């Protein structure tokens, strides 16, 4: 499968290939709309700076939606867009593969 700069696999990896992005998408897919603090608690080891950076990139790429409510204190919620939800089969395939690989590793 030779790829050049128009390679769809490379394009996808560039969009969601960072480990934190995949975990953010997973959490939003599993739990629905979440606030920053909920995402932070649900992703072990991510710093606030990294979470903020990854959320901004995912929003810029159209994968998540950021909704700000006009309240004091400010309330911000994150959810998957239609494009973000279209990643579900990819994450399900990663889950299946990971489950099988963990079984193989644990059986040895």
Cis, peptide link before residue 73, omega less than 30° from 0? yes
Mean pLDDT of the chain: 90
Identify the structural domains of the chain with CATH numbers, from first to last. Answer: 8-107 (1.10.10.10)
pLDDT in tens, 40-58: 999 999 999 999 999 999 9
Q: What is the per-residue pLDDT across 5-33, written as a single tens digit (0 to 9) for each?
A: 678 878 788 888 888 999 999 999 999 99
**pTM as predicted:** 0.84
Sheet of 64-69, strands arranged across: 34-35, 75-80, 64-69
CB atoms within 10 A of CB 57: 17
Give whole-number Cα distances, 70 to 63, 74, 75, 102, in Å. Answer: 23, 7, 7, 45
Q: What is the CA radius of gyration of the chain?
A: 16
């Amino acid at each position: 499968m030779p790829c050049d700069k128009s390679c769809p696999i490379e394009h996808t990896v560039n969009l969601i290939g960072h480990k934190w992005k995949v975990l953010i998408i997973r959490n939003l897919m599993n739990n629905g709309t979440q606030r920053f603090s909920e995402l932070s608690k649900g992703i072990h080891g991510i710093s606030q700076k990294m979470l903020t950076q990854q959320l901004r990139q995912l929003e810029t790429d159209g994968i998540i939606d950021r909704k700000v409510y006009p309240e004091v204190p400010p309330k911000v919620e994150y959810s998957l867009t239609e494009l973000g939800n279209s990643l579900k089969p990819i994450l399900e395939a990663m889950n299946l593969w990971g489950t099988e690989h963990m079984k193989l590793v644990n059986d040895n």
